[in-house]
Amino acid sequence: MRSLGAGAAGLGLSACGLLRRERPANVVIILADDLGYGDLGCYGAMNAATPNLDRLAAEGLRFTDFYVPQAVCSASRAALLTGCYPNRISLLHALMPQAENGISPEEETIAELLRERGYACGVFGKWHLGHHPEFLPLRHGFDEYFGLPYSNDMWPVGYDGVPVGPDDSKARHPYPPLIDGERKVGEVRTLADQDGLTGLYTARAVRFIEKNKDRPFFLYVPHSMVHVPLGVSAEFRDRSGRGLYGDVLMELDDSVGRILGALKKAGLDRRTLVVFLSDNGPWLNFGNHAGSAGPLLAGADPARFRLPGDGRLDGHPADGGPDRRGPAPAPQDRWPRPSAAPARRFRRFPPRGAIFLLREGPPRRPRGPLEAPRPPRLSFLRRSGARPGRLPRPHGEAGDGVRPL
């Protein structure tokens, strides 16, 4: 249970014995976008309208020290679904609508691994691992998909809802398509369209649970919210007392409650592993349209930001109760095996002929009292003597010097 949210291998399913039962346990992963450590009541937020998430934390395991490999949309999702460092599979930063690359067909996702065990697999929300057909979820282990292929702010509209002028960098973006399976069924063109996203994703997630209640399933719900531009349905607007961001967070919490309610109604609440986490921290430069880092120093910064991650197997609390502090999970990296994919849409990483150097030693010292220790890094050098690139490396045993791998 201590490795929840760490990717395909990090789900800890075998360790928990969940897949050895007569009927395997269901798995539900709910991923918020740009949620802050200090946004939820279970992490100390004052007047937080998040009762469902607080209950999830109280009944299960609440991570207080949780890391993602890179604090940006595509890279974080790539690591979650494949168990690889995103640098290893050439999915760095956030893929733009003009991107020609995406997740490689040679990578194994959680969905592919679970489908081999007889699971139905569905994803409803923001994919952001490539928008061309070969990169969409149905080609990577999922049976159903509905949502946006990339971030909801990648459109030719300003954050005030007004279309941008021709000289604005956003003018090159198309309107984000809503995709059902691999078919475009609509577009997000206005802020009113943004308001409906959370409800649409939630309705499809609930329908998926009802449809597959008699077989094991993997449900992945990567919400577009609370990423800007914020959108909230009329039911929750002006209800939180915390402004628009609080309203959006309130609807996100309600979505979690509806999913948990659907599990209970189907009699699956004691047979389902539920994981809630955020892809990275709050986008602080958006002021009151962004979340709170709470007691931490920064927002979307992989070296210094710790994220909320609630996990539970309902009815089976984790050892030590909800406040047990677990280790910082890290993906089960499979390096040094670069993936091969069509050259037009996939950049090989690491470069051919690279020499890897492991710089061992204690984590780098924090720059302030609220900053987490920064781990050592893995470096690679080209044989040609080009400037080294840099890769993140998880905390490990202290050591001295530099040694070749």
Q: CA 42, CA 37: separation in Å to the nearest integer?
A: 10
Which pLDDT value is given to residue 69? Answer: 85
Count of the separate structural domains present in the chain: 2
Instruction: Write down the pLDDT at residue 284.
Output: 86
Residue 367 scores a pLDDT above 90: no
**pLDDT value, residue 220:** 98
Cβ distance 343 to 298 under 8 Å? no
Same domain, 374 and 232: no
- Do 141 and 278 belong to one domain? yes
| 342 within a domain of the structure (yes/no) | no
Same domain for 151 and 237, yes or no, is yes
CATH number at residue 150: 3.40.720.10
Note down the domain range covering 399: 350-404
* Active site residues per annotation: 73, 128
Token output for 92: 């760095």
270 in a structural domain: yes
Predicted confidence (pLDDT) per residue in 24-67, tens digit? 999 999 999 999 988 999 988 888 889 999 999 998 888 888 77
pTM to 2 decimal places: 0.75
- Indicate whether 385 pLDDT > 90: no
Phi-psi category of residue 287: left, alpha or beta, with phi > 0 → left and psi -120 to 50 → alpha: left
303 and 248 in a common domain:
yes
The per-residue pLDDT for range 1-35, each reduced to its tens digit, is 223 333 333 444 443 444 455 789 999 999 999 99
Domain check: are 225 and 373 in the same one? Answer: no
How many of the other CB atoms lie within 10 Å of CB of 19? 15
Is position 274 within any domain?
yes
The pair of structure tokens assigned to 75 is 């890279």
When pLDDT is averaged across residues 248-272 and rounded to a whole number, the result is 96
Instruction: Provide the phi-psi class of 20: left if phi over 0, else alpha when psi is between -120 and 50, else beta.
Output: alpha
Q: What is the percentage of the chain residues whose pLDDT exceeds 70?
A: 68
pLDDT band at 397 (very low <50, low <70, confident <90, very high): very low
Whether residues 233 and 355 share a domain: the answer is no
What is the CA 153 to chain-centroid distance, rounded? 17
- Mind listing the pLDDT tens digit for each residue in 296-341? 776 643 222 333 455 444 444 443 344 433 333 333 333 233 333 3
* Average pLDDT of span 158-171: 94
For 135-153, write each residue's pLDDT tens digit: 999 999 999 999 999 999 9
Pairing of strands 402-404, 120-124: unpaired
> How is residue 188 written in tokens?
């997000």
Residue 104, in any domain of the structure:
yes
* pLDDT digits 0-9 by tens, 282-306: 988 888 999 988 887 766 432 223 3
Clarify whether residues 283 and 372 are in a common domain. no
Q: Average pLDDT of 369-376?
A: 41
Quote the pLDDT of residue 21: 54
Q: Which of 15-19, 85-89, 163-167, 271-275 has the lowest mean pLDDT?
A: 15-19
| Mean pLDDT across 253-261 | 97
Residue 206 lies in a domain: yes
Do 188 and 90 share a structural domain? yes
H or E element, residue 247:
helix 243-265
383 and 249 assigned to the same domain: no
pLDDT at 346: 34
The larger pLDDT score, comparing residue 388 to residue 86, is at 86
Q: Which of 287, 313, 339 is the last residue of a domain?
A: 313
124 and 220 inside one domain: yes
Q: Is residue 264 part of a domain?
A: yes
